[in-house]
């Protein structure tokens, strides 16, 4: 087929996709590479292909929309925002374009969140994840325009959920997002969520998600609370200047770093301003990555860092001389973390991401200790988890409904 043009982001080991039947509409494809995975509902034809155990999503779109979504996704990827990864775009004469993204591994569409219940309180988990995703998107200057449960994927993050952006056809990038656009995004989210919950209740019940309109209102409230916490102006007198240190520490604990702040002198004190563009999420993530090279979600990173601190405490109690942060983290990695993960057979690594698995091992030790009324050694908790918990857990790396089967939109 002449006129076919593939624009791809190169990564080691990534295929060139030239063997796919590009001259046919996506819905007509019949190739061994097709797989049917669990997915959300959408307007366009979306199908999935597999190369050497790695899955990719393909979405058929009109040229301009495809291009816009591709550009925006690449920008979001560069900013480190939680979104599916853009892989490429394919221009085809006389057919719509195809947008390629990497399948987001270990993610759950919302219906599976309801079915598998990855957190104790699903409603609170969805609410917090969506509110935070909107805040992060806006801090980086992006307008989404179609926030909904189906346009989001959810990953486990220790005892919480983290939301990823999937569908960005209506997105826009701005230097700074004004209040009107932020407000507009929240209105759209409220409307979409109410519609989705109505459908859900009609189809499967889902009463524990509350009244259809409530979730959206809660997302808005959570968003506004977090946005204010991050960006509200504060005034303080010279005497209570510890307020500044407190504020920055609170933001760190919440998982955000501030690159710059401004103090302007006013009558009797100062006004503290933090501009949204200089607030960066990922405080614990970055710290864990620097210390150990481990890439985790924010809450997982927070939990692992706490474990490293406890490990330091144990070393100090055993009268071992304190070591540098880096040496301590290195020792924790080789003596504690790696052995625990290595105890899990490799073919079961498709059940959980390593950092999540470690979090669950810690939870399991806590649970066993509570049950027996005494501190259970970690090795024993790992053994018990492998024997009694892991076998019951389903795979989550890619949730394949049916390999090489026809398309299904459910
Ligand atoms: N990269 C991806 N990884 C995992 N699932 C995906 C990916 N891309 C799309 N999906 C699934 O396909 C569904 C539809 O995709 P979406 O981009 O929202 O298409 P539409 O424009 O038709 O709404 C999503 O809800 C999601 O479950
Ligand atoms: Mg969609």
- Identify the CA nearest to 305 among candidates 318, 321, 290: 290
The secondary element (H helix, E strand) that includes residue 35 is strand 34-37
Q: Which residue's alpha carbon is at the smallest distance from atom 24 of ligand 1? A: 40
Q: Which residues, by Cβ under 5 Å, contact ligand 2, an ion?
A: 42, 151, 167
- Identify the CA nearest to 209 among candidates 125, 269, 135, 296: 125
Q: How remote is the CA of residue 114 from the centroid of ligand 2, in Å?
A: 19
Q: Residue-wise over 153-179: b if at least 16 C-beta within 10 A, else e?
A: bbbbbbbbbbbbbbbbbbbeeeeebee
Q: CB under 6 Å to ligand 1: residues? A: 39-40, 42-44, 46, 57, 59, 84, 101-104, 107, 109, 150-151, 153, 166-167, 169
Q: How remote is the CA of residue 150 from the centroid of ligand 2, in Å?
A: 6
Taken as a whole, the chain contains a residue count of 410
Can you tell me which atom of ligand 1 is nearest the CA of 39?
27
Q: How remote is the CA of residue 358 from the centroid of ligand 1, in Å?
A: 29
Pocket test for ligand 1, best of 35, 55, 57, 58 (most atoms within 8 A of CB): 57
Please report where in the chains the tokens 């999937």 appear, as a residue.
Answer: 166
**Closest ligand to Cα 167:** 1
- Residue 333 and residue 82: Cα distance in Å, rounded? 26
- Identify the CA nearest to 304 among candidates 274, 279, 329: 329
Can you tell me which atom of ligand 1 is nearest the CA of 43?
22
**Closest ligand to Cα 44:** 1
pLDDT of residue 138: 96
Q: Which residue's alpha carbon is at the smallest distance from atom 13 of ligand 1? A: 40
In DSSP terms, 262 is beta-bridged to 273
Q: 3-state DSSP call for residue 285?
A: helix
Q: Are 26 and 98 in contact (CB under 8 A)?
A: yes
- Identify the CA nearest to 127 among candidates 94, 152, 98: 152
The secondary element (H helix, E strand) that includes residue 189 is helix 179-204
- Identify the CA nearest to 81 among candidates 8, 165, 151, 153: 165
- Identify the CA nearest to 8 among candidates 96, 74, 65: 74
Residues with Cβ < 8 Å from 338, sequence gap 6 or more?
Answer: none
pLDDT of residue 408: 44
The pLDDT profile of the chain, 410 residues, written as one tens digit per residue, is 678 999 999 999 999 999 999 999 999 999 999 999 888 888 999 999 999 999 999 999 999 999 999 999 999 999 999 999 999 999 999 999 999 999 999 999 999 999 899 999 999 999 999 999 999 999 999 999 999 999 999 999 999 999 999 999 999 999 989 999 999 999 999 999 999 999 988 888 777 788 889 999 999 999 999 999 999 998 888 788 788 889 999 999 999 999 999 999 999 899 999 998 889 999 999 999 999 999 999 999 999 999 999 999 999 888 887 679 999 999 999 999 999 999 999 899 999 999 999 999 999 999 999 999 999 999 999 999 999 999 999 999 998 776 554 444 43
**Closest ligand to Cα 169:** 1
The sign of the dihedral angle between the CA atoms of 246, 251, 257, 261 is negative
0.85 surpassed by pTM: yes
pLDDT of residue 238: 78
**Closest ligand to Cα 84:** 1
Q: 3-state DSSP call for residue 172?
A: strand
């Amino acid at each position: 087929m002449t006129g076919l043009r593939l624009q791809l982001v190169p990564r080691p080991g990534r295929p060139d996709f030239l063997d796919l039947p590009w001259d046919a509409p996506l819905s007509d494809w019949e190739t061994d590479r097709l797989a049917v995975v669990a997915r959300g509902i959408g307007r366009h034809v979306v199908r999935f292909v597999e190369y050497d155990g790695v899955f990719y999503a393909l979405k058929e779109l009109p040229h301009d929309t495809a291009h816009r979504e591709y550009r925006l996704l690449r920008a979001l990827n560069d900013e480190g925002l939680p979104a599916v990864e853009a892989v490429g775009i394919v221009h085809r004469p006389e057919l719509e374009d195809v947008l390629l993204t990497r399948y987001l591994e270990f993610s759950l569409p919302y219906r599976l969140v309801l079915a598998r219940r990855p957190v104790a309180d699903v409603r609170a988990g969805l609410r917090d994840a969506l509110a935070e995703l909107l805040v992060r998107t806006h801090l980086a200057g992006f307008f989404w325009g179609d926030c909904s449960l189906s346009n989001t994927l959810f990953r486990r993050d220790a005892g919480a959920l983290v939301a990823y952006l999937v569908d960005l056809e209506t997105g826009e990038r701005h230097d700074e997002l004004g209040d009107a656009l932020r407000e507009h995004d929240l209105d759209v989210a409220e409307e979409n969520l109410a519609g989705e919950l109505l459908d859900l209740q009609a189809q499967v019940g889902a009463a524990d998600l509350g009244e259809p309109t409530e979730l959206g209102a809660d997302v808005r409230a959570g968003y506004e609370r977090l946005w204010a916490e991050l960006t509200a102006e504060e005034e303080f007198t010279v005497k209570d200047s510890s307020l500044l240190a407190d504020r920055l520490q609170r933001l760190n604990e919440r998982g955000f770093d501030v690159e710059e702040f401004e103090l302007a002198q006013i009558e009797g004190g100062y006004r503290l301003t933090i501009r949204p563009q200089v607030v960066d999420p990922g405080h614990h993530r970055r710290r864990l990555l620097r210390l150990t090279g481990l890439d985790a979600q924010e809450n997982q990173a927070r939990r692992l860092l706490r474990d490293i601190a406890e490990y330091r405490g144990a070393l100090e109690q055993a009268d071992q001389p304190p070591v540098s942060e880096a040496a301590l983290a290195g020792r924790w990695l080789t003596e504690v973390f790696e052995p625990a993960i290595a105890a899990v057979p490799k073919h079961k690594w498709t059940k959980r991401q390593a950092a999540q698995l470690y979090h669950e091992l810690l939870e399991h030790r806590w649970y066993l200790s509570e049950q027996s009324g005494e501190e259970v050694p970690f090795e024993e908790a790992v053994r018990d988890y492998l024997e009694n918990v892991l076998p019951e857990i389903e795979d989550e790396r890619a949730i394949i409904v049916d390999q090489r089967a026809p398309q299904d939109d459910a």
